[in-house]
């Protein structure tokens, strides 16, 4: 199937690299942050953003939950921000290492840190547990119906059950693993990182299938709701659209053809089945729409 890609909008206002995004689906708000420590709210149908908080240090990860933003800094601090009143609720100093990912379920918030830990908080902002996974950075955490999947700089990918018992560990990588994606529909894990390969992980398989996907690091990968389209974002300045089940590259979204990014693409989020937002070291966010051609 062929697809048409159209750029809908640029979001301009950050002063340094933009590293992270999250989405409030109820109010259709996008939140972004990065090297400038600015937390900015954007509306999908407007060009201008609204600064709702400013941190003294860079922000590497953000999570939206229940009208609150949880922001993870490069110096080991979690900043909790009221997304409605634009006030800082609390700051939690966890350690002195970057916080690379924040995820949550109905009970807890899970934080991946640069010193190889997964730290869990309850919604009263209290630390409940800290699990040391590696001596190197944990870069990505994915919560699945049956447990947790983790990727890091060791380099490795770990699979745990809900009680944090290790089920499997994949170590057949050339270098650090930065991105991770669990496809529930086909029970498969994808990962990517510094070596620019997409790795396909299945249970009890240690000889991972790979695809050479990019020229430089894969920083992020995301699936749309139906999991029929996959996006990969890279340091090579491109976003690639995949039919990953058939291992088919559908589109390369770059500056020349689609007025894409001019520097490393760091994060992507789908905001509906056909529309996604990306952010980059070029200090911008961009909105694209992807539609099948009949």
Domain annotation covers residue 275: no
**Could you tell me the pTM of the whole model?**
0.95
Domain annotation covers residue 259: no
Q: What is the average pLDDT value for the chain, to the nearest integer?
A: 95
Q: Which pLDDT tens digit goes with each residue over 107-126?
A: 999 999 999 999 999 999 99
- What residue numbers bound the domain in which 65 lies? 16-220
Burial of 289 (0-12, 13-18, 19+ CB in 10 A): middle
Number of domains in the chain: 1
Q: Which residues contact 24 (CB under 8 A, 6 or more apart)?
A: 30, 31, 64, 83
Domain annotation covers residue 177: yes
CA 168 to chain centre: 22
**Percent of the chain predicted with pLDDT > 70:** 99
Q: Which of 41-45, 62-66, 68-72 has the lowest mean pLDDT?
A: 41-45
Residues 138 and 117 sit within 8 Å (Cβ to Cβ): yes
| Confidence check: pLDDT of 207 > 70 | no
Q: CATH number, domain at 111?
A: 2.130.10.10
Domain annotation covers residue 121: yes
Domain annotation covers residue 28: yes
Residues 100 and 75 sit within 8 Å (Cβ to Cβ): no
Domain annotation covers residue 3: no
Neighbours of 277 (CB within 10 A): 23
Domain annotation covers residue 167: yes
Q: What are 166's two structure tokens?
A: 């290790």
| Confidence check: pLDDT of 231 > 90 | yes
pLDDT band at 25 (very low <50, low <70, confident <90, very high): very high
Residues 134 and 152 sit within 8 Å (Cβ to Cβ): yes
Domain annotation covers residue 276: no
Residue 191: name the closest of 211, 205, 165 by CA: 211
């Amino acid at each position: 199937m062929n697809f048409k890609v159209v750029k809908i909008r640029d979001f301009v206002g950050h002063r340094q690299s933009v590293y992270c995004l999250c989405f409030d689906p109820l109010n259709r708000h996008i939140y972004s942050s990065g090297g400038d420590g600015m937390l900015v709210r954007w509306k999908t149908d407007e060009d201008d953003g609204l600064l709702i908080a400013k941190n003294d240090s860079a922000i590497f990860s953000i999570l939206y939950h229940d009208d609150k933003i949880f922001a993870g800094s490069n110096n080991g601090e979690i900043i909790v921000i009221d997304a409605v009143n634009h006030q800082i609720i609390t700051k939690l100093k966890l350690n002195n290492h970057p916080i690379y990912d924040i995820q949550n379920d109905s009970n807890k918030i899970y934080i991946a840190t640069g010193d190889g830990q997964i730290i869990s908080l309850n919604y009263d902002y209290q630390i409940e547990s800290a699990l040391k996974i590696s001596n190197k950075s944990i870069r990505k955490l994915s919560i699945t119906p049956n447990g947790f999947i983790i990727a890091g700089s060791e380099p490795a990918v770990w699979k745990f059950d809900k009680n944090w018992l290790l089920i499997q560990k994949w170590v057949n990588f050339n270098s650090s693993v930065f991105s991770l994606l669990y496809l529930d529909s086909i029970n498969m894990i994808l990962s990517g990182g510094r070596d620019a390969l997409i790795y396909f992980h299945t249970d009890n398989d240690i000889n991972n299938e790979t695809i050479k996907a990019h020229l430089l690091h894969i920083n992020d990968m995301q699936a749309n709701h139906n999991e029929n389209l996959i996006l990969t974002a890279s340091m090579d300045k491109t976003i690639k659209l995949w039919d990953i089940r058939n291992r088919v590259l559908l589109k390369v979204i770059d500056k020349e053809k689609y007025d894409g990014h001019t520097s490393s693409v760091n994060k992507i989020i789908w905001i509906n089945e056909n529309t996604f937002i990306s952010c980059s070291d070029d200090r911008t966010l961009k909105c694209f729409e992807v539609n099948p051609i009949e």
